[in-house]
Chains A and B, each alone.
Chain A
Amino acid sequence: MRIECPFCGERDHSEFAYFGDAACARPAPGAADAQARFVEAVYLRENPAGAHRELWYHEFGCRSWLQVTRDTRTHEILEVRLARESTAP
């Protein structure tokens, strides 16, 4: 599996650290239903078989956080963008 880093070009995935589903946003801690929202954000996952938006960190490269869309059935990389430029879920 090779990931096309926006800065470094196509690199082997062993240069990257995986950080899981990109859709997990930290809820507002002051909200009335904050506890239930935190349980969802920390523990519950869509875990799709197909396109999956996920975070990878280019640890042995430019050290940027990337949002990668990847097909979990084939490992095909569909899209790579910088995590800070991606829109929240």
Chain B
Amino acid sequence: MDTQFVGEHLRPGQLGHFFVITSFVGALFSAFSYLWAVRTEKSAPDSSRTWLLFGRSGFVAHSASVISIFIALFYVIENHLFEYHYAWEHSSLSLPGKYLLACFWEGQEGSFMLWTFWHCLLGLVVMRTAKGLETRTMAIIALVQVCLATMILGIYLGPDIKIGSTPFSLLRNTMGNAPIFAMPNYLDFVTDGNGLNVSLRNYWMVIHPPILFLGFASTLIPFAYCIAALWKGDFESFVKPTISWSLFNGAILGTGIMMGGAWAYESLNFGGYWAWDPVENASLVPWITLIAGLHTLLVYKSTGRALTVTMFMLLLTHLLVWYSTFLTRTGILGKTSVHAFTGDGKALTYHLLIVIAILVGISVAALVVRWRKLPRIKTEEGILTREFWMFIGSVILFLASVQIILTTSIPVWEPLAKWITGKEFAPPVDPITHYNNIQVWVAIIVGLLAATVLFMKYKTANAAALGKRLGITAIIALAMTIGIAKGQHISTWQYQIMLFSASYGAIASIYFGILVQKARFKLLGPSVSHLGFALVMLGVLLSAYNKHAISFNTTGENFNFEKRTAAEKAKENMENVLLFHGVPVPMDDYWATYVGDSLSMTGKDKIMYYKVNFERKDFKTNEVLERFTLYPDAFINTKGQGVLTVNPSTKHYWNKDIFTYINGGTLDKAKSDTSTYLSHLLGKIGDTVFLKNGFMVYQGLSKEFKDTKYKPVSDSDLAISAKLMVYDSITGPAKEINPVYVLRNRQYVSNIEDTVSTLDLYVRLENIIVKSQDSVLIELKVRQTDPKDDFIVLKALVFPYINVLWIGVIVMVLGFFISMGARMSDVAKTDSKALR
């Protein structure tokens, strides 16, 4: 007989399951209806119209179901229904409300749902705006939604084959064999969930995934439009909407990727914003092919050339998003990625491979069938025309993405290579240098092209005007390059060229925007986005070339063409510095002093904040010019033994960032503290006790003091406190402490210790010895933690001019939106003309 379990809330799960099924059926119905609408388009326009309406209602029903699944799952998480595996795995009672959404997409199923959700919203917009291409684009979108819906279906076909994994499975079903689940009241023992991974507990986790997934999701729209154009054989009407969608896509995906960079920079200890990590690469590559496709599409619109390449790039972009999902979700990257993704095993691998196969099949079939009908222009483009160089730039972007994906995919093709060569291939030992050494050339060429094509014209060439403008730009850029290279000590010639390329790009964009386009806002999109790209290059170069650890003075090893021996490089790795409590250590221009820590508790999670003072002093006068404090912190996991998860702390200047994080230290002071109390006898006012880094002056006894810890019990109680001024050579100003001595009926009952946490000083008033009216001795017990027992291991890095990078990203995204706005208002105008 089945056990009746107590206290479970099964309704939200059942509803959730129901909506998972309806979302799947809705998408399937919509895809078929749209397909039939296309098939009956010519033969029976009336029934085609009916099918179209069926398709629409199917998609609306599907979207409503997806939103309902969202609500059901959120209800489960928000109400801490730990009988559901998803809530138990990803949330906990103590988790602050703002992270409840983050738990939602921490898991596999939740992030698939986020993706599906964005597809629904974008699909509804396409449904309203695609007009003649609606049936075909929507058939593709609905088909992709069918594929995504299977990911959260969680249905068993036979005992071994499981399709998808539902977020509504119960804890007792997923961990069914544990003896606890034999008890009907098992929920009484499941009192709290696992909680969100501490390294993800960050506001970036709330905002980054939705933006990135919107970026991934919007690659579907250009994909759908391209397939629709091929399907219909109409290579005219898809152009304008595809340009607008690609611009939107470029802006959002670009923002999402760089938000990931900002997150990594701000709160993770990778030591930077970009590490060429496989997961980062997997999201960058679709963006690169998208940008290539966008540019060839612009060429096609103006000249009728490059359609085949455009189709190829835009179709590839969406396929690459699926490939990224395959790389990052199935665990195939395993030992090569720092991102702690876990594989969901073989089922997901095959599932994703099938979906990819379907989408590749559709893309290839559409291209092959229409291959001969794709409009091409036989004549040759002029060597000084915009279309020619834009085309070359796109090809180079494509080649760059090939290189990145080739190296990233080593774990994918490694078994094949082993079979052929017998060697076990591994990623490059120094991946950052590997990518930088190749991609720096791509950046140089693309930077130069991006600036140059601005001045060129489609179809015609005006060599004289072009030469003059480019000449002026090059001269200014050269001067700028020399200035920056001198000022920033950029001596490697490869990076001097990159610096020139970035300067040239920035100057050209500004020159073109202001002097040629006369700063007309609607036209400014390209020059603004190209300016942003140039600034990104400049920011990357300046911050990475001169990035250096100041906790041990070295220059960044990864950004260097020089070949050095492994031993020299290993030496440079020594970037950790040991800071004893209260002992100033020189770091670059600063003196760094570890002055104390404080523990913060939220629920059962402990965060230790380490306070590190930085002071910059004048060399001669020793006067303090500048002073600031950083609080790098560490999460102390209660589950493991003293597991540290660290968050850096950064001091921002307009021209550089000082970035610090803890690599180790004394975790448990009580254990390591070996100090004991020492006695001191004081008689006269002004008597002094010397401390490890300061001193303490006796100022007399008093019956009046404000210590909240003291409460008189009876009338005969008498409390006396000693007034002591503590002078601290580290934190400066004097601090008064008042240890208390309590008497009852003239007998000693207790004392209250006083402390100075920054000095780790503990003072107890042990005894009051009255010799005569004038001579009163007090005995103090003083204990101070040995600084040798209290230390942190710190790493501090300087990133110069990193703000140039962030500003560049913002400017670039702004450029995309300006272009998109201009294109959309154009579309609206032509539409209203057509109506009239």
A binds B: no
Chain A residues within 8 Å of B, Cβ to Cβ: none
